[in-house]
Each structure stands twice: as structure tokens, then as C-alpha cells.
Structure 1
Amino acid sequence: MTRQAARTLDVTQFLQEVEPQRFVTLRLPFLRKGFNTGLTAYHLQLLLLCSLVTFFDGQDFSALAYALPYIRDDMALTNEMTGYVSAAAFLGQMIGSLFGSYLGDIFGRRPVIIACTIGSAVFTTIVGFAGSAEQLIALRFISGLAIGGLLAPVWALSIESMPKSMRATSVTVIMMGFSFGGASAAPIANWVAPVLGWQGIFWVCGAMTGVFALILLFTLPESARWMVAKNLPKERIAPALTRFNPAFRAEDYDAFTLPDERKTTDSANPLLKFRELFIGALLIVTPLIWAAYFFSSFAIYLKSSYGVIFMENLGMARTDAAWLGSASGIMGAIGGVILLMMTEKRGPGWIALAPLIALPFTLLIGLDMVEGGPWFVPFLLISATLVGAGHAAVISITSIYYPSAVRATGGGWASFMAKFAAVAAPIFGAQFLAGRQGALDGYIFTVGCLLGIAVCVLALSWFARGLRERANAPAHQPAE
């Protein structure tokens, strides 16, 4: 095609118009016909990479929860000091989420994700050499900076690369990796701690993340939508588009556009980027996202910090409590994906199903109406699973309403606000460590968090209707 015939490519339409024959079909023994994923091999490859990023992120983050009972015995930590040790990583995550998301919108998703993965590997390993509670606090804070810094960029990379019908679900699939990673810390603790002590848990987790970081250097792509939104040179954008369609001819186009997104500030000023999160309907939607994420984080991090100790105080053996915590983490992650697959086209209001169904199970545990009976363990498992499923679903909507140029910033600020709850959960929750009654009170407190999630999500579904309709509108035709 000649230069005169060159035209502007509608990247929104290009990313959606994938030939059906390129979709990957899964053939499973129990299905007569193959399952059409609606995704190409490249989509699945990217989804796998992002899920592995969060898997090792979750493994590093959750290592402390399963090492904590051993650390308490070894260092004779008081309940108050236990709370500070647990809160250190949350505080690091809180600050890291702002820096990581801001840098992700300025320099790209790929470099920030890789840098944070390397940082997580290094500092998680070093945590295993801590000789005091004060050193644990400092090192967990530093590792938390890296752990928190990569989440918003990895959410943005997934949302910007997946088909519209899979954007929220893809984030939930990715965070299933975080849950699986967190759950994997339980068997690592059970197998490693008797041999290497609690220190070995961090050494093993850090080493595994380090190996994966090397793989990312050669495999992780950059977001095509982000590059278009940032008006980067054609030479950088074209190879990214070719990944979606090998037949793409870059020479046919001399410009790229995203007609489904409003124009945002080109300034790197973080205050101006922050302002973008409150334009139009986002003035109400953004605070509701923060509130829902806050309540959900309080519930999930109270569970992840002290769930094992709560169950131990209610009469379960430590190793059994660890295995149940691991199982509920995995089931919660899977439940979140199923919930999003069922509700993505119906709007975010359906996410409220998870906390609403969890309410009676959690309440009955807190009221001491099932302990010692045949329903005790099933109720514990159902409650923890639904708390996890709801949290995964809430995370899926933290970034989808923002333009690509500020998407990571939107997810990062949501994560930052949620981390107030994450930091408070282990400190405030330390009062629930005082024996059996304390554990019961912890479950009652979780009931209040579940109510908060449901109210915020239902309100969000109402005010976000216009934004969702715009996001789902057909793409404009490419300009000639």
C-alpha cells in the first residue's frame, strides 16, 4: 500500500476483531465437544504469565502467615509485636502500590512488573536472615514495597490485552494466581519448617521467585493499548500488535488511535493523574471502589494474617488449620473466577452474592453455634472460601473503568486505600488472638466487613452503569 493510502488504525477494533479460527479450543475427557476459550494462544500465554507473576507474589507475601506460629514460638513475640510484624508488609504494599502504579503509567507495565518481581525475590530471601522482631518488621516492609508495586501494572496489562468480555474475569484469573501462591506457602511451611526452621520458608519462596524473574526478562510483553495511549513511536507499537495477529501489516498504517477512551492529561504530574480518577461518573464510582476494596481487604487480610491462629484457638491442630487455610484460598480463587464468568455481562452488582452468602455461615461461627459439631469444619471452609471469592471479584473491578493512560494509577490508588485496611487488620486483629473468645469475636467482626462490601458493590453497580455502557459500546470504524 502506498504512503498516500496509509490510514489510522482503530486499535480498539483491531484488538477485538480476532478471527474465530485463531481461538484456542480445549479438549477435555469429560466434554464431548471441545471448549472454545474465545482467546487466542497469545491471550492464554499472557494470562499464564500474569497469573504466575501474582502466584509468586502471593507466595512471598503469604510466607509470613504460615511462618508466624513458628516465629512466635522462636522469638517469644507478644500479641502486640505479632501485629506489628504482620502489618509491616501491608504498610510496604500500601506505599508500593502508589509508586508502582504511577511508574507503570509513566514507564510502562513491563519494566515495573519485572523490577518488582526481582525485588520481591531478593528481599523475601533476606527476611529469612532476620534475627529479631525489629529486623523482621524492617525487612517485611521493604519486601512489601515490591510485592505491592507490581499488582496495579499487572492488572492493567491484562485488562488492556484481553477481549472486552474477559477483562474483569481475566483480573480474577490473575488474582487466582495470587491465591494459589498464597496457598502454596502452607505446604512449603509444613515441609520446610521441620528441616530448615521458619527461615527456610522465606529462602525457598524467594529462590523460586528469583528463577521466575529471570524467565520474565525474556517473555513478558508491553501493553499495546498503553503504548498507543502514550503516543509512542510506531516502531514500538507495531510489534506489539503483531503478537495479536501475525498477519498485521504495519506499513498500511501511519497512526494509531483508541476511540473508546477519553483523552487524558499528557503530564507526568501525579496530582493531575490523580484528578483523572474523579472526572464525570468516576467522582462517585472511584470512592465506592475504594470503600468496597477497603472492607474486602479488612476481611481477607484478617483471615490471611490470623486465620490459622483463629482455627488453632478454636481447637484445630496447627497443621490441619494450615491445610484448611490453603484449601480455602484455592477454592476462594476458583470461586471468584466462576462468579465473574457468571456475572461479567450482568454488571458488578452480582459480585455482592459472595459476601451475602458468606454472612450466615460466618455469623454462626462467631456466635459459637457450630463449634464441635459436624458442621464446624464445613462452615469454616465455606466462610473462608466465599470471603476469598468476593475479594477476588472486587479486585477485578478496581481498574476497568479508567482510560489506559491512567489505568494503573486507578488500580494503584484503589490498592493504596485498601491497604489502610490491610495495615489495620493485623494490628486491630491482634485483640482477637486472646484464646477462643477472641477468635469468635474475629468472625463477628468479619460479618460487619461482609455487610460493607455488599452495600458498596450494590451502590457501585448503580452509578457505574453509564461507564459500563460506554466500555461495551461497539468500536468506531477506523479513520481513513
Structure 2
Amino acid sequence: MATAAGRTLDVSRYLQEQPFGRYHVTLLILCALVTFFDGQDFTALPYALPYLRDEWVIDDQTTALITSAAFLGQMIGSLFGSYLGDVFGRRPVIIASTIGSAVLTTAVGFAQSPEQLMALRFISGLAIGGLLAPVWALGIESMPKSMRATSVTIIMLGFSFGASSAAPIANWTAPVLGWQGIFWVCGAMTGVFALVLVFMLPESTRWLVATQQAKSRIAPTLARFNRGFDATAYDSFFLSDERKVRTHENGGTNALFRQAANVFLRFRELFVGKLALITLFIWAAYFFSSIAIYLKNAYGVLFMENLGILRQDAAWLAGASGIVGAIGGVVLLAVTEKRGPGWIALAPLIGIPIILLVGFGYVSGGFELMGVLLIGAIFVGAGHAAVISITSIYYPSAVRAFGGGWASFMAKFGAVAAPFIGSEAGFLQGASGAREGYVFTAFCMAGIVVFILLLASVARGMKDEPAPSSSAVQPAE
């Protein structure tokens, strides 16, 4: 663990030697709560849409524009948040984004027209998207290696629970305060939690070491894992399981040029060695998964209404499927994490024929339809949670949030496209349109299976490669 007469500490080995304890649990809970309120704020709109369509009499195209506005904001916010999370740290970006999400979600409830609603949802999406990659990175970098992917899934379990909590909030609030009340309640709850984060959220130890921060910042975070840690025994810290990365351009005098060069250097690090294919396959799998999940999130309640399910029942069903799907993702990762990412393909593979039962009209009504829709949505959610879990684990700590942010950015092309695909393809037009929407969802899940299996094929050899010298290139595990 230590070299040079015990004065240099291998932080990666130190962290692996610590048993999973109270601090790990506390951190997981905090990160899961961050995504809980993130999911609650983000998913408030789908539950408000039926009331909005009735009150403002908006057409399908306007519905798609309103829905996609937040996805577009998330898309851009994921890049900025991930970059800032690697430059300034996970903690400040997560706290700032949570505060921004609280304020802006509350503001959405004051929109007076579809145009104002689009603008406010876009701006709130910037904050909502900006915190995901940093919070994934914080979880990965604080957990034992055997729990890195599972930790992300547990963290995103919070997002799914938060998204599902918007259903009862809508059912209880909308009849009293209107659709506006849904956003006011969600925003207020997030604001209260933001205050908790200010006092409780720690910084990532791995990020502090990877970016060569001062000992005075690193030592207290190491003591969080082990109260008996003696910081005075060490003068410096390093990570033996990560390659060195270059993220700064020191030449030249033009500040704008240097900043652009820094971004390029970070981006290039995502394609070193086998990461060239791994990054592309992650993007593709996440893209198809985003289309499937966001088509469900945006129009799932409307689809179910068009298939004859009552609005409030559809809201409860959507909420329940989100929760159980996220739990399914945790179970899937807990069982398969040590066996490689290929096992993630199980969830979408099983979900395809179940969803096609509805898409092809073999199940068309009653409790049988509700049961099949619930099971199908569970596998969509479980697959999405599992895909998210691997978006950041292959990158070094110095660019981990950036890698996760770019994966989220590419995936949001699918999220932005999903509402437009739904409206332009006629998926909102009655029962036949809804069934076509489920067939399309099954097609997207097939895309997830293909690219996850390709990713597994490339990533399999990474653990078998010999440890490189200090000058060699090796992706972080």
C-alpha cells in the first residue's frame, strides 16, 4: 500500500481494503436521494400532460415539443455538468444542479402558455441533466470494485422511485391545485433536500487524488472510510489501478484556445485503446434504451388511456412499473456484475416478446392487459437501469464524469427523438397507434441486446491484459 518508507499511499488499494460499512451506505443513500428528487422533477411533466392537454387543448405536435424541451435541456446539461464535475469536483456540481432543479421546477408551474412551458422545461432540464454523470462518478469512485456497476444501479433506483413518486403527487395534487401544483410540490421538496446536501455530501476521494489536490483535502475523505486512518503517516497519494491521463494544455497564451484544447484532450481519453469500441457500443446501447424508456415515460399514460385504461389507474400503473423495473435492475446487476456486461442483455431480451403481446394485439383489455403492460415495463426499466450502470465504469477518475456525461449526451438524442417519433408516427392516435408504439419499443430493445453483446465481447479481454508500465495505456476497470 505504501512506498518510500511509508510516505506514499496507494489510495486505490486502501479503498479496496476497507470493508463495506456505514460510510458506504450513507453515501449510497445520499446519491440515491439526489437522483430521487431529480427523477421526481423530471417526470412531473408526463403526469401533468393529460391535464395540460385538456386545459390548453394542445395538439400532438405541441405535446411532442413540450416533452422534448426537457430532454434537449438534459442533453446539453449532461455535457456541461460532466465537464464541470471533472474540473471542479463532483460535490459542487451536484449541489448547484440540485438547487437549480428545485428553483426551475417550481417556476415551471407558473407557465402561462405552451411556449413558456417549453422554455422553462428546457432550462430546468439543464440542471436536471447536469448532475447525473457527477453523481454516478461519485458512487463508482467510493465503492469496492465488485460493487461499482451495482452502486450506479442502486443510485438510479432513486431516480426511478422519484419518477414513480410523481404519480401519487399528481393524483393528489392536480385535483386541488391543478397541473401547476405538481411542479410546485416537486420543486419545494427538492429545495429542502438541497439544503441537506450542502452539509452532508462529500467529495470523491479518487477524484481528489487523480487531480492531485492538496493533502489537506484528501486526508479527511480517507478518514471517512476508516476513522483510525493516520494522515500524518503519508506525504503523497496515488492510484495504482488507473493510468495517467492528460487533461490540460499548458502551451500557448490564448485562454480560449487552451480551454478548447482541454476539452479535446478529455474527449480523446474516451477512445484510448479498447475504449474506442467500448465507448461507441455504450453510446449505441444507451441510445436505444433511451428511446424505449422515454417513449414510455413521455406517453406511457396516454398509451394506456388509448387502450382503455382509466387515467388515474394508468398513472398508478406507470409509477409501479418504474419502481419494480428499477428494483429489477438492481437484482440483475447484483447477480451478474461479476460475470460481465453481456448479462445485462437478459432484461431487454426477455421483455421483447412480452411487449409484442400488446403490440400485436394478443392481449387487448382488462386486468390481463394491465398485467402484461406492467411486466413489460418492468423489463424496459430493468434494462435501462443496467445499461446506465456501465456508462462510467471503464474510464479513469480524472475523466469519469466526462465519459458518463458524453454517454448521457448521445443517449439524449434518443430521448429527444422519442416524443417526436411518437407524435409523427401516430402512436398517440387511438388504440392502434398505441400498439404500434409498443412494437417500436420492442425494436429498440433488440438494439440494446445487439450492442450490449458487442460491448461484452470487446470488454471481456480487458481483465486478461497484463498490467502496463507507467508509460503504457490501460483503461481503468
Pair in the same fold by TM > 0.5: yes
**Which of these residues, 146, 150, 155, is aligned with residue 174 of structure 1?**
155
2:420 is aligned with 1:439: no
**Is structure 2 residue 359 aligned with structure 1 residue 366?**
yes
Relative to the length of structure 2, the TM-score reads: 0.93
1:123 is the counterpart of 2:104: yes
Q: Could you tell me how far 1:459 is from its partner in structure 2?
A: 0.6
2:251 aligned residue? none
Give the stretch that moved more between structures: 251-260 or 151-160. Answer: 251-260
Q: Mapping of 1:413-432 within 5 angstroms?
A: 413-430=406-423, 431-432=426-427
Secondary structure, counterpart of 2:236 in structure 1 = strand
The alignment covers a number of residue pairs equal to 452
Q: Is the alpha carbon distance of 1:264 and 1:15 closer, same or farther for their aligned partners in structure 2, counting shifts above 3 Å?
A: same
- The letter for the 2-side match of 1:361 is I
Residue number among 116, 125, 136 corresponding to 1:144 in the alignment: 125
Larger deviation, residues 194-203 vs 366-375:
366-375
Secondary structure of 2:9's aligned partner: strand
The equivalent of 1:9 in structure 2 is: 9
Q: Does the CA-based 8 Å contact 2:247-2:263 persist in structure 1?
A: no
State how far apart, in whole Å, the 1-side matches of 2:141 and 2:465 are. Answer: 16
Task: Give the equivalent residue in structure 2 for 1:283.
Answer: 276
Identity of aligned residues (%): 69
Alignment partners' CA distance in 1, 2:367 and 2:8: 65
AA paired with 1:73?
A: D
**Counterpart residue identity of residue 396, structure 2:** P
Which range moves more in the overlay, 427-436 or 43-52? Answer: 427-436
2:392 match: secondary structure: coil
Contact kept? 1:260, 1:471, Cα under 8 Å: no
SS at match of 1:231: coil
Contact 1:401 1:467 in 2 (8 A): no
- Taking only aligned residues, the RMSD between alpha carbons, in angstroms, comes to 1.5
1:23 is aligned to none
Question: Could you tell me which of 173, 183, 205 is aligned with 2:164?
Answer: 183
Spell out, residue by residue over 1:155-176, the C-alpha distance to the aligned partner (whole angstroms, 9 max, x if none): 0000000001110000000000
From 446, 460, 468, the equivalent of 1:465 is 460
Q: Distance in 2 between matches of 1:51 and 1:317?
A: 31
Instruction: Give CA deviations for 1:35-58 in whole Å, capped at 9, x if unaligned.
Output: xxxx20000000000000000000
Which position in structure 2 is the counterpart of 1:250? 231
Matched AA of 1:203: W
Q: How far apart in 2 are the matches of 1:354 and 1:116?
A: 31
Q: Structure 1 pair 472/139, CA: closer, same or farther in 2 (3 Å)?
A: farther
Instruction: Check conservation: 2:247, 2:265, Cα contact below 8 A.
Output: no
Question: 1:4 offset after TM fit, Å?
Answer: 8.3
Work out whether residues 398 and 411 of structure 1, in 8 Å CA contact, stay in contact via their aligned partners in 2.
Answer: yes
Q: Provide the C-alpha distance between the structure 2 equivalents of 1:469 and 1:124, rounded to a whole number of angstroms.
A: 47
Judge conservation of contact 1:98–1:409 (CA < 8 Å) in 2: yes
* Alignment-mate amino acid for residue 280 of structure 1: G
TM-score computed with the length of structure 1 as normaliser: 0.92
**Is contact 2:90–2:138 with CA below 8 Å preserved after alignment?**
yes
Cα distance 1:468–1:375, how it changes in 2: closer, same or farther (>3 A)? farther
Which residues of 2 match residues 312-351 of structure 1 at below 5 A?
312-351=305-344
Q: Which runs of 5+ in 2 are unaligned?
A: 249-258, 469-477
Q: What is the CA distance between 1:61 and its match in structure 2?
A: 0.1
Is 1:46 the equivalent of 2:46? Answer: no
Structure 1 residues without counterparts, runs of 5 or longer: 20-38, 474-480
| Residue deviations 1:103-122 (CA, integer Å, cap 9, x gap) | 00000000000000000000
